[in-house]
Structure formats: C-alpha cells, structure tokens
Amino acid sequence: MGTRQEDMATSDPQKTPYQVLARKYRPGSFESLIGQDAMVRTLSNAFKSGRIHHAFILTGVRGVGKTTTARILARAFNYADETGAHPTLDLQKEGLHCAEIIAGTHVDVMEMDAASNTGIDSIREINAMTRTPPMSAPYKVFIIDEVHMLSTSAFNGLLKTLEEPPPYVKFIFATTEIRKVPVTILSRCQRFDLRRITPEVMTQYLTGLLEKEGVPFEPEALAMIVRAGEGSARDCLSLTDQAIAHGDGRITAEAVRMMLGLADRAQVIDLFENVMHGNVAAALDGLRNLYDSGADPSTIIADLAEFTHLVTRIKIVPSAAEDPVLTPDEKTRGADLANRLGLRILTRTWQILSNGLTEIAQSGNGLQAAEMVLIRLAYAADLPSPDELIEKLTGQPPETTTAPSAPAPGGGGANARAAAPMARPQAHAAPAAETTLPAPGSYAELVALAGEKRDILLKHALESDMKPVSFETGRIEVALTPTANPSIVSVLSARLKDWTGRPWLVTVSTKEIDAPTLREAREADRRNARDAALEDPMVKAVMETFPGARLVDIKTRETAPENEALEDPEAIEGLETEDDE
C-alpha cells in the first residue's frame, strides 16, 4: 500500500508541472533572441559608446519578442556583479538582479499593462514612483505594454516625466499599434521595429528546440507550423506545443493538418490543376473529399488563392520556389505550373478566388458557395485571351506571337478545349520572327499603316492629336495639339520599329504650327464640298421641289461606283426629306 502511494506521489503532476515551450525557452539575453539582429547591433553600439537613451519604444506584431526584449533591456541596464554596477549587453554571466528581472519579480522593474490601466491615475502613480530612487538596482525601469491603449489624458500626464526623467529612471514601451501612439510620445523615445522572424530562422530555431526536447517531427509538419505562425515566435511555439499533444509525443504532417483544419497541400494542387484543365467534375469531387476530411470551405478556397499567388511569384521570381516553408509538391509542381500558365490566367484566377472568399463568408452554406466558385473558375479558364479574341474576330493572328509551350498533361475529349489555358504562349518565350513591312514614305502612308495594323488609338492620335512638320524615312517631326497625350510620341516610335524593323526618331516641334490636323482638314473639305453642292443649280432645284429636304451626304465619282445610280434608283440617297423621317 505504501509503495502504491509513493508511486502516485511520484507521478503527481503538481510536483512536476509542465512549462509550455514559449515560457521554457523564453530568451534571457540578446544572444538567445532570434530574428532581431539589426536592433541588437544598434543597442550594442549605443552601450559601447555610453549613449544609452532614457526611453525606448518597441513595436511589432504579436509574439516577436517585445516584452522579452524589454526585460532583457532592463537586465542590461541593471547589470551588476561583484565589481559593481555597469550596464552591458554581455549577459552570458548572470548578474545580481538578472534572475528576478527575467522572472518579472524585481522591485525596481515595474511592468504595467496599459490595456487594463488606461487612465491618468495609473500614470500619476508612475510619476510618483519616479521621485524616489531605486531600492537595490542601479535604475528604476518602467515597462508599459500595449502603450497605445493609454487615454489622451494619460499620455499628457506622462509627457513631462518622459521628457525630463530623473537620471535613475528608464522607460520601455511596447505596442502593436505604433500609429496610435501620439507623436509627442514618439519624439521622446528611441524607436525599434521588431521584424517578423523569417521562415528560415524560425525553421532552424524550432528544429534545434525539438531536438533538445527529443520530439521526432516531419519537416512538412514543421513547415506548416512555421507558415501558420506568420513570423511570430510565440505563436510558433504554442502551435508546436499543441502539435506535440495532438500527435501523442511526435509531430506529423497529418496531425498538424487536422489540428489546424488545413487541406492537404497535394490535394489542393490537384484541385488547382483540375480547375485549370476545366475538369469540373473532378474539381467538385476533390472539394468534397477535402471537406469530408475536415477542411473548411473558406480554408480550401483561401489555400487555392495562396497557391495561385505562389505560382505567380515563381513565374515572376523563379527563386521563390526555394522558400524553405514550401512542401516538395509546392516547389516542383508550382514551378511547373508557373512555366505553363500565363499571367492573365493567374491574375484572373486570383480575382475570382478573392471574390469567392467574400461570397462564402456571406453565404449560409459555405460548401455550396465554394462549389459555385470552382465552377465559375473552371469555365473562366476557357475564356479566350485578348490576343485570341482579336484573332477570332479578325481572322488574323495577333501582331506579337510567342513560341507556344508544351501542352498541359491530361484533359481530353470534352475537356480538351478547357485545357487550352495550360498550353497558351508564355510571356517569357522567345518571340517568333515577324514579317516587317515597307517603311511609310509620307505621313498619309503612316496613317494608312496604322489603320492596316488595326491600331485604332494610334491612328486616331495621328489624325486628331498630331500635325506633321517634317517627314523622312527614320525621322519624323510633329506638333502636338493641346489635348494630345505626350506619351503618344514614344508609342509611335515603338510601333514603327516593330512594324518596319528599324529604329525611328520621333520628335516634337517647338514651333507654332497653324496647319490643321488631318481630321480638321477633312472636316473642312467636307464643309466646303457641302457648301459647293448647295450652290449647284440642280441641287437647288431639288431643294425647291421637295420643301424640308436636307443635304446629308455627298458622293463623288471617286467615292461611289461608276453608274451606280443609273443601275439602282435606290442608290440616290444624298437627300433626306421630311417624309423620309
């Protein structure tokens, strides 16, 4: 009986309470603080030169180490050993006050949470305490966490003390909302921005920590934890604690996925490919499988959007595929999809998925809304690009063609056309040789060339916004109208180089040009022709015979087929009468 009671006492958790990883591995010195090298370097230089400020403000997202840094700073200010007190950042050897400061129990290091002490009364107490020197440590240190929560009166009450504190007082503020802190406070403090911890540093840190704890883990599981932690050391350590408990002493990808409610990355990529191929049935089946395994519909769509962003990044910056938080499937298949998908398709996919997240949040049935998003996305993958649309409407290939990449795997029969986006030409492919056209010999030929190339905007600018001054092969001088866009000059030069295969210099004249634009000249000719026609005796006779008739158009032999009016009496349509109206 005594043996049994002894065993029960030995296994009593109250005698050996578990300490969470975030507290167990909380840094006690700047050597153990990770991811904040810039701040440590600045503080080291300040301590070496003796230029130590009396007030500091630390800002950054949750869990990056603001309060921890504040306590380490308080320890550095109050470092003392057998030889006396001397501030230092070399804290490898524990000083007289270090243990109590790190534990938060030192009498001369006061911590206050501004979220629960927002009023002026709390600041009055701090001001009163600054009037008395420290009891045992060299400095009195006041650490105010979430300082942005203080009221306006509390900030005002702190200003004078913060500007001229006693020589034995140090202030350290921490906040996640630096923009809410008054400028009058910021101007009196030395500011440090604590950065998010990079995935590489966080992965290395967690790997070493788990090896010390003797906890086996899968690299993919660790990558998911680092990604979910979003650069916060505390969040990553909390998730690691939770994953150890969830996986019964080991960290596996499946356990972390279930714990976080994440979809399998490989299945997400399969779903993405099915949608891009237009395989609607397979995409809906994949969505249902992920949903049945516990993934939330909004999480699935968000994962698709995240993967779309990853593929786009890899397409623009190929080195992005080497990110350590990526799974092997994301690295290899993401790079492959980046080579086969165009930017137009990726940006359109991103927009549809982003809008879909809002629809799911507002929908009463998230799964149904997610299915409609995938259906819309799958059919949008079959939409033609602007170049393909021009080719379909005009029957001519687009002006700039690129070498097509290899066709996408899979997808046949009814899905073959929907898989077309996977095989569209890529922006980075080598351009095919384009047939060059003869150089225009006059400004009129240039306008005709723009019309032949179906460049409507440039043709309109040549006719309405430019006045020709001089024209020779390879060099054009024009005058711009007040309403012209100055960038049209560089556009014209680039178009001519593409069309003729040689460089063209297009300059803007500084002279005053009284000549009209081509459009103005054409309108003037039309008005003159109309006035001349109205003076014609035959037209006058017609106008008198048919009261109310109006001259609406003029055709000459050069603009109408010869003898057309004789062959077709209905071709005489230059006059409009009130009866016709």
Q: What proportions of the chain, in percent to the nearest 5, are helix, strand and coil?
A: 50, 10, 40
What was the pLDDT predicted at 411? 37
The topology under which CATH files domain 265-423 is: Zinc Finger, Delta Prime; domain 3 (1.20.272)
- Top-confidence residue, 441 or 353: 353
How confident is the prediction for the chain on average, in pLDDT?
79
Q: What is the CATH number of domain 443-512?
A: 3.30.300
pLDDT above 70: residue 8:
no
Instruction: Write out the DSSP string of 134-162.
Output: -SSSS-EEEEEETGGGS-HHHHHHHHHHH
* Alpha carbons 507 and 469: distance in angstroms, whole number: 10
Question: What distance in Å separates the CA atoms of residue 448 and residue 454, rounded to the nearest whole number?
Answer: 10
List Cβ neighbours of 313 (8 Å cut-off, separation of 6 or more): 320
For the segment 476-486, the average pLDDT, to the nearest whole number, is 83
Report the pLDDT value the prediction gives residue 357, as an integer from 0 to 100.
92
**Confidence at 16, pLDDT banded by 50, 70, 90:** low
Query: One-letter amino acid identity for 209?
Result: L
Reported as a single tens digit per residue, the pLDDT across 318-327 is 888 887 777 7
pLDDT, position 88: 82
- Mention every residue, 6+ apart, whose C-beta is less than 8 A from residue 446: 440, 462, 471, 476, 496
Q: Residue 407: pLDDT above 50?
A: no
Give the DSSP H/E element, type plus range, for residue 260. helix 253-260
Q: Edge to edge, what strands does the sheet with 190-193 contain?
A: 109-113, 140-145, 169-175, 55-59, 190-193
Instruction: State phi, psi for 468 to the nearest 5 degrees.
Output: -65, 135
Given pLDDT bands bounded at 50, 70 and 90, which one contains residue 224? confident
**pLDDT of 423 strictly over 80:** no
Mean pLDDT of 104-113: 88
199-260 has which fold? Helicase, Ruva Protein; domain 3 (1.10.8)
pTM: 0.55
User: In sequence order, what are the beta bridge partners of 406?
Assistant: none
CA separation for the pair 507, 524 (Å, rounded): 27
Most confident of 156-165, 247-256, 457-466: 156-165
Q: Write the CATH number of the domain with boundaries 21-193.
A: 3.40.50.300
Domain ranges of the chain: 21-193, 199-260, 265-423, 443-512, 519-576
Which of 35-49, 99-113, 426-440 has the lowest average pLDDT? 426-440
User: Region 483-508: what's the mean pLDDT?
Assistant: 84
By C-alpha distance, which of 136, 147, 209 is closest to 184? 147
Q: What is the pLDDT of residues 539-554, one digit of tens each?
A: 777 777 777 777 777 7
Three-point CA angle 438, 439, 443, nearest 5°:
130
Answer whether residue 481 shows pLDDT above 60: yes
